[in-house]
Structure 1
Amino acid sequence: MFNTSLSGLRLEASGLLALADLRTIAYRTALTGSASFLDILFLAPGIHCQQAASEVHGGEYPTIGAMTTGYVFRVENEATVNYLQRVGEPGHLATVDVAGPKDAISGGGLFSKDTLASICYLCGIALTIAVVALLRVIGDWWALGVVGMLMLARSLNVLVIKQRSRLGWKGIPEPGVRGDLLVLLSQDRWVRIRGLVDDIKVVTSGQWLREETTMESFCVSFATLLVYSSAALAGNASTVGNLLIACLLLISVALLGACNALTSRLRMFGRTISLEGKPKPYTRRLDMVEELITASGRDDWAIAMGLIVPPKEKAQKVTP
């Protein structure tokens, strides 16, 4: 038998760490566009917050203007808005490209950010497996039960996310048509989106995560209760078991945070959004607008977005 106590150290209820309202898992969900069954093995604080992935954009639905047609609308996809907020900088124009399922995108090499992000993700999964194996070796069944409850809660949230993130309405198809759009974000951040119109529609229009059904809401509520119950039962685990659970949760959230920070692309519905080059700085917004008007050959989109004043012959007088 293994000694599951450490002299001079008393650690109980490490499962309380799982109750931290961290949005790391929610941000990961937004960056990947959905959830994977491998996520079940990645345990980190904030499991009960995963369904809040649709709130990572901070409630912002920025205006977007089509420089090829003149139409002005909004970006309705919360995950896309969150990504644009990440790549945008105040006073800069960032350009992103939307690639379709058939477009091959290079991984960027062995030491690229996306490769390092994948390594961090795999390390988190390996850590969970290692902790489960150690708990089995020392025979701490209470600690194993706590980890099992967290994995069950994770699996329920993953299943609900996969159901909610199915491809829905995206407008009428426009095959072969290329789009060039300007997004006006808060804090004077400007993003230009280029790619096929059908691909752009998939990542900007319609719903990303639909509303929960009654059964899905029940599953999410049950998963939340599992997280809280695991924290209550963690006090029955040994000191070593609690220490292993605490290390698992703390290291995993650090790995997941690094994974999110290193992820440079947004993947959703088979499409990939990636930043092209570095954002271009401008001393004033009008310079950026005039440059885009020259490139697009039209100014109706800029007038509709309120970026420029229409010519006198186009202006309309309002009589009281």
Structure 2
Amino acid sequence: MALRAPTDWRISLDAAGLVALADLSTLAKRTALTGTSSLLDHFVIAPGLHRQQTAVDLNHGEYSACAAMTTGYVFRVENQAMVFYLQKVGKTGHLTTLEVSNTNPSDSGWRRALSAIHNPYTNSLFAFSAYMAAVLLTICSLAVFVLLQDWWALGALGILIFARACNVFVIRRRARPGWFGAPEPNEKSDLLILLSQDRWIRMKGPTDDVKAVTSGTWLQDPTAMDDCVTALATLLVYLVAALAGNARQEGKLVLLGLLFGSVALIGMANTSTNILQMHGRIVKVKAGPKPYLRRRLLADELVKETGEKHWAMKLGMLPAEKDDVTPPTM
């Protein structure tokens, strides 16, 4: 039996544009891992693209308790993207050691220029391939719509690209470095972070670099203009859901393939990305996860290594001593 053309199929795809409205966090997670948006993000079209600004909520309200084992100060990790990354690499009952470094000193001019087009630091080869495949998928879809002369489908995809560009513009504006506290050059930090679900993280690196990824906030508060641009982008995505029904059956199939394919590719890129970049710094796993049967065993080991115990008492990992007069610090 001959295969019938898509136009003869008894399946209605008039609501194909609704797939773009799916409440997925795939693109928001990509934004958190890379710390900002690159120019190539314009061509990454996936469901949930109108939800990119919700990347600041990926920590699910958690602000993890943290102790500086070198000074004894106890505070919280206020950076939402950092907490999301810690949740990603942490494992229950295990200690994961992270290293923070600065990307700027060894950067060449071409690499800084390239980072505006695409983030060169946080990708494994597989993640880079998956990301670029998502970009090429959008470009190929545009070409197919032109060949089919399906101007409704071409217009719908063009609107989605413009909506994505609006969100990229806002994210890049909001991702400017903010307050990180007073500079402490030539100092080293060694932090222990307690996450929910008994996940433990140790973070090492130059103090100024560690403060840049843990202190203050990741994205600046949106301005009135940012809110307007974000609202426009959201309305445009809903407009596509209404207009996509006018496209040809073949165009709707291509649009569906683009949306499903892109979200799958970016999801795979996120899964294989184990490095966080933010404000010119890189955070990556240095060692672990190392298992511990008891949290007390972890505390005793770190106290022995650092020679300090007040930080452990302030975190509740060791019982406070009766003669301890060190004031609590939060």
TM-score over 0.5 for the pair: yes
2:322 maps to 312
3-state DSSP of counterpart to 2:241:
helix
2:132 paired residue among 110, 122, 144: 122
* Residues 184 and 191 in structure 1, CA contact (< 8 A), matched pair in contact too: yes
Q: CA separation in 2, counterparts of 1:314 and 1:168?
A: 37
Aligned to 2:117: none
- 2:144 pairs, out of 123, 129, 134, with 134
Aligned to 2:283: 273
- 1:284 pairs with 2:308: no
Match of 1:71 among 70, 73, 78: 73
Choose which of 214, 227, 230 in structure 2 pairs with 1:217: 227
Task: For 2:33, give the aligned amino acid.
Answer: L
Aligned to 1:26: 28
Give secondary structure in 2 for the equivalent of 1:313.
Answer: coil
User: Does structure 2 retain, via aligned residues, the 8 Å contact 1:4–1:240?
Assistant: no
SS in 2 for 1:60: coil
Q: Return the offset for 1:125.
A: 0.3
Q: Which residue number in structure 2 is paired with residue 8 of structure 1? A: 9
Write the deviation string for residues 36-56 of structure 1: whole angstroms up to 9, x where unpaired: 111010100001110000000
Sequence identity, in percent?
Answer: 47
- Residue 108 of structure 1 is matched in structure 2 by none
Give the secondary structure class of the aligned counterpart of 2:204.
strand
Higher deviation after alignment, 203-212 or 52-61: 203-212
Distance in 2 separating the partners of 1:313 and 1:207 = 37
Name the structure 2 match of 1:47.
Answer: 49
Q: Is the Cα contact below 8 Å between 1:98 and 1:195 reproduced in 2?
A: yes
* Letter paired with 1:182: L
Q: Determine the C-alpha separation between the residues in 1 that align with 2:311 and 2:105.
A: 29
Q: CA deviation at 1:104?
A: 6.5
Q: Name 2:113's counterpart in structure 1.
A: none
3-state SS of 1:289 partner:
helix
Instruction: Write the distance in 1 (CA, Å) between the matches of 2:15 and 2:49.
Output: 17
Separation (CA, whole Å) in 1 of partners of 2:325 and 2:211: 32
Q: Distance in 1 between matches of 2:167 and 2:9?
A: 38
- For residue 102 of structure 1, report the CA deviation from its aligned partner: 4.5
What CA distance in whole angstroms lies between the structure 1 residues aligned with 2:123 and 2:137? 21
Give, as a single letter, the amino acid of the residue that structure 2 aligns with 1:215.
Answer: M
SS where residue 126 of structure 2 aligns? helix
Equivalent residue, structure 1, for 2:87: 85
**Partner residue in 1 for 2:239:** 229
Superposed, 1:57-68 pairs within 5 Å as 57-68=59-70
Q: What are the equivalent positions in structure 2 for 1:245-256 lying under 5 Å apart?
A: 245-256=255-266
* Deviation digits for residues 106-146 of structure 1 (CA, Å, limit 9, x no counterpart): xxxxxx97110010000000010001001001100000010
Alignment of 1:100-111 (within 5 A): 100-102=102-104
Structure 2 counterpart SS, 1:97: strand
Between Structure 1 and Structure 2, how many residues are aligned? 308
Secondary structure at the counterpart of residue 272 of structure 1: strand
Change (3 A) 1:93 1:139: same
Q: Does the 8 Å contact 1:177/1:197 carry over to 2? A: yes
Deviates more, 1:9-18 or 1:145-154: 9-18
1:264 and 1:103, CA in 2 relative to 1: closer, same or farther beyond 3 A? farther
CA–CA separation in structure 2 for the residues paired with 1:137 and 1:302: 66
Unaligned 5+ runs, structure 1:
106-111
RMSD over aligned CA atoms reads 1.8
Secondary structure in 2 matching 1:279:
strand
What SS does the corresponding residue of 1:311 show, helix, strand or coil? coil
1:13 Cα deviation (Å)? Answer: 2.7
- Offset at residue 191 of structure 1 (A): 0.2
Distance, in Å, in 1 between the alignment partners of 2:55 and 2:104 is: 27
Corresponding residue for residue 157 of structure 1? 167
1:6 is aligned with what amino acid? T
More divergent stretch after superposition (158-167 vs 301-310): 301-310
The amino acid across from 1:19 in the alignment is L
SS of equivalent to 1:6: helix
Shift of 1:8: 2.0
Q: Cα distance, 1:314 vs. partner?
A: 1.9
Tell me the distance in 1 between the aligned counterparts of 2:46 and 2:16: 12
Q: Distance in 1 between matches of 2:276 and 2:68?
A: 21
Deviation string for 1:194-237 (max 9, x for gaps)?
Answer: 00000000000011112111111011111000000001000000
Partner of 1:109: none
Distance 1:103 1:186, change over 3 A: farther
1:257 lines up with 2:267 in the alignment: yes
Partners of 1:99 and 1:212 lie apart in 2 by: 28
Residue number in structure 1 paired with 2:118 = none
